């Protein structure tokens, strides 16, 4: 178990630029989740995949956000035309089978200037 | 809509003190309940979980939590804290008959004075 890996750890970008984050889940885990966390808050659900299928997407997720998991392994989260309000920690988690206990990565901290 | 409330945002205790962190949720159906911990500079880790059965669940590092269905509560306890328990603690809830989303509390920052 090498854990959930997220890259990059930190990303600073200017408003209006596009950014892409990557998540590598634990290898035998078929479910993958993206959450966002801002200071003083718990994580907020963004979306999740079962294998390569994106099964649910939060209403919080604007059209500027898109996530993919093309081969059911790693996933990418892209934010287009970033805004200052997108500044947050983006967390990826994975789980196996029907388990609802999640394994988290260290997150990608996005700062939009 | 489901929500999770953690009563204390910050708790400061001395070593060997007893700990209880409150968590209440709002949802009328069957739930799975979780406590996660985030040590400084580290990722979120599962501390303990309740799915069904004995409402008193034991987790890692001497932590336990009790599910009281009538009070919609899942409080976290530890009889004697250590300096290494300094961390942020999050309660999370998942509605069994819905999707795989976890709804999270805002977290409690626990500082243990040596």
Decide if pLDDT at A97 tops 90: no
Residue A13's pLDDT is what? 98
Q: For the residues B39-64, what does the mean pLDDT come to?
A: 93
Decide if pLDDT at B98 tops 80: no
Q: Which of A41, A48, A101 sits opposite B34 (nearest CB)?
A: A101
Residue A71's pLDDT is what? 87
Beta-carbon contacts of A8 under 8 Å, excluding residues fewer than 6 positions away, are A21, A108
Q: For the residues B45-71, what does the mean pLDDT come to?
A: 94
Q: Could you read off the pLDDT of A18-67 as tens digits, one per residue?
A: 999 999 999 989 999 999 999 888 999 999 999 999 998 888 788 999 99
Q: With an 8 Å Cβ cutoff, are A45 and B102 in contact?
A: yes
Q: Could you read off the pLDDT of A53-74 as tens digits, one per residue?
A: 999 888 878 899 999 999 889 9
Q: Which of A33, A42, A106 sits opposite B104 (nearest CB)?
A: A42
Residue B61's pLDDT is what? 93
Are β-strands B108-113 and B10-14 bridged in parallel, bridged antiparallel, or unpaired? parallel
Q: With an 8 Å Cβ cutoff, are B43 and A102 in contact?
A: no
**In angstroms, what CA-CA distances link A76 with A17, A67, A72, B2?**
16, 6, 11, 28
Residue B110's pLDDT is what? 97
* Residues A98, A101, A105, A107, CA torsion sign: positive
Decide if pLDDT at B109 tops 90: yes
Higher pLDDT pick, B83 / B28: B83
| Mutation target vs A (from B10, B23, B96, B101; most A CBs, 10 A cutoff) | B101
Q: With an 8 Å Cβ cutoff, are A106 and B9 in contact?
A: no
Instruction: Write out chain B residues lying below 8 Å of A30, CB-based.
Output: none
Residue B83's pLDDT is what? 96
Residue A109's pLDDT is what? 97
Residue A113's pLDDT is what? 96
Q: With an 8 Å Cβ cutoff, are A102 and B102 in contact?
A: yes
CA-based nearest residue to A67, from A96, A98, A34: A34
Decide if pLDDT at B80 tops 90: yes
Instruction: Write out chain A residues lying below 8 Å of B4, CB-based.
Output: 42
CA distance B79 to chain A (A): 25
Beta strands in B1-72 (DSSP E): 3-6, 10-14, 19-21, 23-26, 31-38, 45-50, 56-58, 64-68
């Amino acid at each position: 178990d090498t854990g959930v890996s997220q890259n990059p750890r930190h990303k600073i970008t200017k408003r209006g630029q596009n950014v892409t984050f990557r998540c590598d889940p634990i290898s035998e885990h078929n479910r993958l989740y993206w959450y966002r966390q801002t200071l003083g808050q718990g994580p907020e659900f963004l979306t999740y995949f079962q294998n390569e299928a994106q099964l649910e997407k939060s209403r919080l997720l604007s059209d500027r956000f898109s996530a993919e998991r093309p081969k059911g392994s790693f996933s990418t989260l892209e934010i287009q035309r970033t805004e200052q309000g997108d500044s947050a920690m983006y967390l990826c988690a994975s789980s196996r089978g029907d388990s609802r206990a999640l394994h988290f990565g260290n997150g990608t901290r996005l700062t939009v200037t | 809509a489901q929500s999770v409330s953690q009563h204390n945002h910050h708790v400061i205790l001395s070593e060997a003190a007893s700990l209880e962190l409150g968590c209440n949720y709002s949802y009328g159906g069957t739930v799975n309940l979780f406590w996660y911990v985030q040590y400084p500079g580290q990722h979120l880790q599962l501390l303990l979980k309740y799915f069904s059965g004995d409402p008193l669940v034991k987790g890692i590092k001497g932590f336990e939590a009790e599910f009281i269905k009538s009070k919609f509560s899942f409080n976290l306890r530890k009889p004697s804290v250590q300096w290494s328990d300094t961390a942020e603690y999050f309660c999370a809830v998942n509605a069994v008959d819905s999707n795989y989303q976890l709804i999270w509390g805002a977290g409690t920052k626990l500082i243990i004075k040596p």
